[in-house]
Each structure stands twice: as structure tokens, then as C-alpha cells.
Structure 1
């Protein structure tokens, strides 16, 4: 094989691996609740920890019934505002139900960035939780 082809093959292999990471989410299990992360462009909201332990997938949380603490990070590096950087928040919710679908969304409340949990019907389930932001 030509030496010129090796770097190209390595690059194609890397791009294929990255594409697999961004693939479709697996179907939710009926014994767990799924918490999807909604975002406002250009920001990216990521799952970080569930009950203090790192999560396997940054795109969502799968939680058992009951009470859980969700930790998220918001990457604002694509934002043009002067306070670009990384924001963090934790949310405690006592009533997760197996088989239900939830959405955690970030938004702006006045001049503050917040996250809030919504049920499958689109209704808020808790009070907005502030994001603590640090310059990038």
C-alpha cells in the first residue's frame, strides 16, 4: 500500500468513529425514565453526572424511578457574547417515573441562564435552576 494512502485511511477511520458517537440514541428501556437535553443554538448542553457518577452518554440521562440529581454543563464557546465559556448546573427531581420521557432545557430568564425540567406534555416540573458560568 502506498505511503500516501495511509494518512488518508487513518483520517477516514477517525471520521467514521466520530460519526458513530453522534449516531442515534438507543431506545429507552421501559423500566427507566429518559431525560433528553434540549438546547438553544449555538450552545451545547451535555449530561455530566447522575447522582454524582459520570454518565456514559453525554446526550441524555436514563434514570430509575424516584429521586435523582442530574448534573449538566453548557458549552457557550459558539456564543458571541463576552461571557463565553463553560456553565454548570445541578438539578434534583424527586418524582421520575419509569417509562416516562422528560426534557431538560437551558434558556435565558432575564439576564440569567437557567435549566429546567419538563414532562412529556411540555409542562415544567420544577423551578428554573441557575447555571454558574465561568469565562472560557
Structure 2
């Protein structure tokens, strides 16, 4: 029974992820900053919390201008029978501006994972702390 329970978690996570992707993206609010996500093909990057509060949809979000702390999850498929890694990190930025678009960009080098925050011109303006990863 325990093995079935362990397999249920990844299946439910996948169902939740696919259902979130099916919904259309709303229009950006010009009085807030818009933050989107860009992941590598081998990973799934989702924003989980904004200033300690759970987000409704981890694919995008608006923030009021000013300082915010973002917590993100990264699920990385590993080669062979190694399964996947579930990773968490945080990133803070103190100059979000209304009407601006920002992107959280996942990047990895081997098993070293990070997320950088870019402005609308592609300039890096922030970076995550080190990811904490565990086998999934």
C-alpha cells in the first residue's frame, strides 16, 4: 500500500500541472509588474509563493511595484533510472515597476540549478539563492 501512495504523488502533481497549462493566460494588469517563467526542456519551473503566500497559478503572476520575495520549485527529469529531482529556491528583488515585464529563467549546468530574474530587455537583475534538491 505504501508503494501505491508514493506513486500517487507524482501522478497527482502531473495532473495538476497539465490542468494549469490548459487555462488561458490572462492579460497583464498595467498597474502591476508581470512575471513570467522560462524553463529548460528537462525541467518544470513553477512559482509557489509570493511574499510567503501561495500563488493560485505558478505559470505567471502580477506583483505590486516594490520589493518582493519569490519562492520557486523546479522539477528536473534525470537521465536513466535516476528519476527526478525536486528543488526549491528563493529570489528577492526590490525594484519591481508597474507595467514592466520580468522573466524567471531556469538554467542548469550539470546538477547545479539556478534561476535568474531578467527585465524586459533580457538583462539579469537578480538571481536565486542555491537550490535545495531532493530525489523525487
Bucket of the pairwise TM-score, normalised by the shorter protein = 0.7 to 0.9
Q: Alpha-carbon deviations, 1:63-83, whole Å to 9, x = none?
A: 00000000110112x332647
Cα distance, 1:87 vs structure 2: 0.3
Cα distance, 1:105 vs structure 2: 0.9
Runs of 4+ in 1 over 6 A off after TM superposition: none
Q: Highest CA radius of gyration, 1 or 2?
A: 1
Q: Alpha-carbon deviations, 1:17-38, whole Å to 9, x = none?
A: x667523210100111011011
1:66-77 equivalences under 5 Å are 66-76=66-76
The 3-state SS of whatever aligns with 2:125 is coil
TM-score normalised by L of structure 2: 0.78
- Structure 2 Cα separation of the partners of residues 130 and 105 of structure 1: 14
For structure 2, the residue ranges without an aligned partner over 5 or more in a row are 1-14
Report the structure, 1 or 2, having the larger strand content.
2
Evaluate the alpha carbon distance shift between residue 92 and residue 128 of structure 1 in structure 2; reply closer, same or farther with a 3 A threshold: closer
1:65 and 2:73 matched: no
- Structure 2 Cα separation of the partners of residues 133 and 97 of structure 1: 31
For structure 1, the residue ranges without an aligned partner over 5 or more in a row are 1-14
Q: Which residue of 1 aligns with 2:78?
A: 79
Report the structure, 1 or 2, having the larger helix content.
2
How many positions carry a matched residue from both structures? 119
Q: Alpha-carbon deviations, 1:45-104, whole Å to 9, x = none?
A: 00100000000111012100000000110112x332647220001111000001000000
1:6-21 equivalences under 5 Å are none
Q: Which residue of 2 aligns with 1:90?
A: 90
TM-score normalised by L of structure 1: 0.78
The root-mean-square deviation of aligned C-alpha atoms, in Å, is: 2.2
* Contact 1:50/1:61 (8 A) holds in 2: no
